[in-house]
Structure 1
């Protein structure tokens, strides 16, 4: 049975091929290039409207002619990005921000979601992880990390002395998702969703005020403009903070060979946090 690739694995494979110098996509079937010519294909003739019947009024003739596509009318109602920014900025603490996010109904993702995934861990943490959008297990549990990925994430943090449950701020970690709601069919985040919900994430980062953020998976694309596979291991800046891109635990479960790179990234994070 053929195993289907998930989106992020397929994207990582494509990024690897590009880095290896692959610059041309082949067709599914062979192409006999000896039969191709340089001549341009004939342009289709423009459709002609039938002449009006002698007894047809001019108005009826105009209505029977083919209609040209009209531009879509402007969208009514408030601008969703501005509405999100106003709601986020009006929140004075994380509890108020979570309530504002849960009540934000202008995003289509909100209408089909079963849970709002807001945050996980201690808000006093110096490290804030920004993870992939929630999947079915995260939506069911309400946690940023759930299932086997949560277990691996806990072990990764414990290896450098951090924990979501730690009371000491020096050992605490906090996590949020790049989107608070599960996209339908677990599709990749769309630019409109990311732009609309970014004010809530920016406000969440400002309220937690971490020393370092760690974008993972889709968050690397959204905040740094590249894949985690390509960017990992290199310090950057995102949302006004030092940022260390890392592979998400779900990807490490599917590709255990990446755990060596993840360990190197964890050591870099630990060194950055050292007093």
Structure 2
């Protein structure tokens, strides 16, 4: 049976037209139901844009790791406030000695052999306040036992006072601003002094002398809040409810013997004050 050439020609033409439409993007040329392309275009135009916007603006979901919270800040310690509290709780000289020995915030204690608290008669009318222990004081645990201490004993013996006297009217009670020796006998820093002043003030309150002698710049600064001992010496003043006499430190007299004249005048002034 022969094939109608006209039909075959129409088939090839139709196939070629279909391929051309597919190349143009018409991928669904045949369907069960007719499709109104104009209606589809209107529907797409009327679709809400917020869905697309949400899709575009939504941040990508990133897996997060739990991060441990930083530890709370450690509260800063005020050594002066700690010293004030510890000193105020001491009701006896022995308790004060222990409070100073237990005070952990002054680094000088780490390099010291001993805590130098006091020497002499606690009932004495005269309380001497020096600067800080030297090598001999650090080794023996007592204030003013080196060359400067020997000179101090001779100075006050000239007006009838001695640290070993059992008679309170003729005795001395001796302490320092700093209970620990600074390295190389340097001056204590203002921070070191500030944390020890509450203990010194409490020491004065518990010993309750009639008067205080401050010897050198460091005790003058601690007790009187002034420096310039060569200018201050010999001038009576008041501090912590007590008469205070500034004097030159015996170590200064060992370096400057000519200043012993002024020191003798100060000793006579002290003697007159005790008699008056």
Whole-angstrom distance in 2 between the partners of 1:183 and 1:150 = 17
C-alpha separation in 1, matches of 2:76 and 2:187: 27
| Cα distance in 2 between the residues matched to 1:260 and 1:75 | 55
Residue 266 of structure 1 pairs with residue 267 of structure 2: yes
- Larger radius of gyration, structure 1 or 2? 2
Shift of 1:77: 4.6
Structure 2 partner of 1:83 = 82
Aligned counterpart, 1:220: 220
Q: Which residue of 1 aligns with 2:242?
A: 241
Report the number of matched residues.
203
Supply the distance in 2 between the matched residues of 1:203 and 1:223 (Cα, whole angstroms): 12
1:185 deviation in Å?
2.5
Provide the secondary structure at the position in 1 that maps to 2:213: strand
CA contact (8 A) 2:197 2:222 kept: no
Q: Which residue pairs with 2:193 in the alignment?
A: 194
How far the C-alpha of 1:222 sits from its partner, in A, is 2.7
Pair 1:171 & 2:170 matched: yes
Deviation at 1:246, TM superposition (A): 0.3
> Matches of residues 198-209 of structure 1 in structure 2 within 5 Å?
198-209=197-208
CA-CA distance at 1:195 after TM superposition: 0.9
CA deviations 1:221-267 (Å, max 9, x no partner) are 33221221111011111222111000011111111101111100000
Q: Could you tell me how far 1:127 is from its partner in structure 2?
A: 0.5
Partner of residue 232, structure 1: 233
Q: Is the 8 A contact 1:216 1:245 kept in 2?
A: yes
Equivalent-residue separation in structure 2 for 1:125 and 1:271 (angstroms): 16
Any unmatched runs of 5+ in structure 1?
1-73
Cα distance in 2, alignment partners of residues 77 and 115 from structure 1: 28
Alpha-carbon deviation of 1:92?
Answer: 1.1
Q: CA RMSD in A?
A: 1.6
Give 1:85 shift.
1.0
Q: Which deviates more from structure 2 when the two are superposed, residues 123-132 or residues 238-247?
A: 238-247
Contact 2:213–2:245 (Cα < 8 Å) also in 1: yes
TM-score by length of 1: 0.71
Separation of aligned partners in 1, 2:100 and 2:210:
24
Distance (Å, rounded) in 2 between the aligned partners of 1:81 and 1:273: 34
Which runs of 5 or more residues in structure 2 are unaligned?
1-72
Q: Is the 8 A contact 1:221 1:228 kept in 2?
A: no
Find the residue that maps to 2:181 and give its secondary structure. coil
